[in-house]
Amino acid sequence: MGVRETAAAQAVLGLGALELRDRLARGALRAVDVAQACLDRIAAVEPTVQAWAWLDGDHVMTQARALDAHRSTGRPIGPLHGLPVGIKDIVDTARMPTANGTPLDGGRVPTADAFVVERLKAAGAIIMGKTVTTELAYLQPGKTRNPHDAERTPGGSSSGSAAAVAAGMVPLAIGTQTGGSVIRPAAYCGVVGFKPSFGAIPRTGVLVQSPSLDTIGVFARGVEDAALVAEVLYGHDAGDRATQPSPFPRLLETARAAPPVVPTLAFVRPPGWDAADADTKSAFAELVEALGDRCFEAALPNAFDEAAAIRERINLAEMAKCYYAYERRGRETLSPLMQEALDAGKAITARDYIAALDWPDILHAGLGEILERCDAIVTPAAPGPAPAGLGSTGSSIFNGLWTLCGTPAVTVPLLATDRGLPMGVQLVGRRGDDARLLRTARWLAGWAAAAESEGRGT
């Protein structure tokens, strides 16, 4: 139907993932209605946003019709029945291209699904297509633009996933984070980004950049929506040694529950605080003041000053090993940024790399005193709103230390500049305490909404 959206499609797109799920389950909506609304929206905004690396509308509608047919039989449906999900183009999808953001993998079509894609399909999700990633999920930007301002970066490396959710193309999307590749683009694009604890979601079938850091994450419009999709993905898989057998996580149930007591937050100025722009510093000062006795200020141990260098050392050393095959196949095809990173990784000594691997546990232990006094740390998701220009994906200085620690982190779009550009409020919890973090984030989002409606602001 071209680039014009019908009123019915716009009504569907205005619903969050949970509301869509409930209407689909009741039969008030069909999967084909939701899928078509998303396709109409993509047709309208994709020429500007450019979030998709691969999309086949016929395949989307085939999945939707099959899901509707299944529901008509009266058999049980999955927790994500009929919900379209965008998949970052470093996550393998059977019989669907996965090019990893590089011409070296152009035309690559995996024969098997990644663990997370298997889980999504089993839960009844519609695999909408593949979202744009930066080159091999590192720093060289892809084609995607920020939905709030096409002349600004959407962040990276999960640029397409964040932009697709922000632009209303899909209610949910999957990304990955090795430095700040979920939290930063979510903050820049004005959506919720959730990076679970390290090892919570198996990475089997996902491009390996840094086994000690790589983490699957999700994008959604609300905290509860993020909990809905993340809960489906948690688990143990023998193909990923970072995962462990564990009880089923009740992320959604916990996130939707009222906290037993009013949460306490600890405001932290992370290393690199001087990089924060004036809008960010001012907004967080106002937020802390508005929270009053619900928030106290805390300082990270001095050891955290080394976190950025340590994380980069691990990342580059492991990337030089993991991407060696790409370098051999076509170094000249790789961007100068990637070539420089691989050379830097090869220059790191075994001694320095092995020593760096001790730091995540050391740093997480250093958080103990702060996290014992609060429900979550609150801190900026980025130094400011999305920077102008498309030659960079922005700075991950406020994300990488939490990735290194393996702690869960979530960003919620609670702040904005005078020009309306979103700025994310990042919350960080204790490793393994993901459900509590999501509950605290939902509480904070509700508190901020109530404050705004009462004219108090944040």
Q: In 3-state terms, what secondary structure has residue 444?
A: helix
| Residue 88 is among the residues annotated as catalytic for this protein | yes
**C-beta separation of 353 from 317 below 8 A:** yes
Catalytic residue among 88, 121, 130, 195: 88
| Residue 195 is among the residues annotated as catalytic for this protein | no
| Residue 346 is among the residues annotated as catalytic for this protein | no
Which residues, including other chains, have CB under 8 Å from residue 69's CB and lie 6 or more apart?
Answer: none
Surface-to-core class of residue 245, CB atoms within 10 Å of its CB (0-12 exposed, 13-18 middle, 19+ buried): exposed
CA–CA distance from 421 to each of 4, 57, 265, 415 (Å)? 26, 31, 25, 9
At 290, list the tokens.
């508005």
What number of residues does the chain have?
458
Q: CA nearest 401: which of 434, 438, 428, 369?
A: 428
Q: How far is CA 155 from the centre of its chain?
A: 11
Q: How far is CA 383 from the centre of its chain?
A: 17
- Could you tell me the sign of the dihedral formed by the alpha carbons of 279, 282, 288, 290, in that order? negative
DSSP characters over 202-251: --TTB--S-TTT-EEEEEESSHHHHHHHHHHH----TT-TT----PPP-H
Catalytic residue among 121, 130, 157, 212: 157
Cα separation, 104 vs 107, in Å, equals 9
Cα separation, 197 vs 202, in Å, equals 11
Catalytic residue among 158, 159, 161, 181: 181
Rounded to a whole number, what is the largest CA-CA distance in the chain?
Answer: 62
Cα separation, 186 vs 412, in Å, equals 8
Catalytic site positions: 88, 157, 181
